[in-house]
């Protein structure tokens, strides 16, 4: 298990790393003041509370959204899952890291700024 964020990214297979690095760049562009550290073995970004994490799977990366249940009605074609709060977007290729995903990222940051909710 990685001991820091950079090691987590460097330990990924090349295809996963490409997607994960693209997700990281989009998050950092939208939220330059967010902090990132490992939590539960994944890189997690926080503003007032936790907002995002990236989970690598064999065939994809998931952008995990801690405000996902609140965001899902506005982005039903992209946000998946049934968790009480946590939902995710599956990213199987760089083509899926697009303007629609940027809107989800921006909306999640806005929710954290306006209505932060502690992750349990």
Q: pLDDT tens for residues 29-82?
A: 999 999 999 998 999 999 999 999 999 999 999 999 999 999 999 999 999 999
Cα 51 from Cα 119, distance rounded (Å): 9
pLDDT of residue 67: 96
pLDDT, one tens digit per residue, over 79-114 is 999 999 999 999 999 999 999 999 999 999 999 999
What confidence score (pLDDT) does residue 17 get? 96
Q: How far apart are CA 97 and CA 107, in angstroms?
A: 15
Burial degree of 112 (CB within 10 A; 0-12, 13-18, 19+): buried
Give the pLDDT score at 120: 65
Cα separation, 39 vs 33, in Å, equals 18
Q: So what's the pLDDT on residue 119?
A: 76
Whole-model pTM? 0.95
């Amino acid at each position: 298990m990685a001991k820091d964020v950079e090691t987590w990214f460097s330990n990924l297979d090349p295809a996963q790393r490409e997607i994960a690095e693209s997700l990281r760049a989009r998050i950092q562009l939208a939220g330059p003041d967010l902090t990132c550290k490992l939590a539960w073995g994944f890189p997690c970004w926080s503003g007032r509370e936790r907002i995002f994490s990236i989970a690598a799977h064999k065939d994809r990366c998931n952008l995990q959204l801690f405000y996902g249940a609140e965001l899902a009605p506005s982005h039903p074609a992209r946000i998946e899952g049934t968790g009480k709060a946590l939902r995710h977007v599956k990213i199987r290729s760089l083509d899926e890291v697009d303007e629609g995903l940027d809107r989800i990222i921006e909306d999640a940051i806005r929710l954290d700024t306006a209505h932060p909710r502690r992750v349990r």
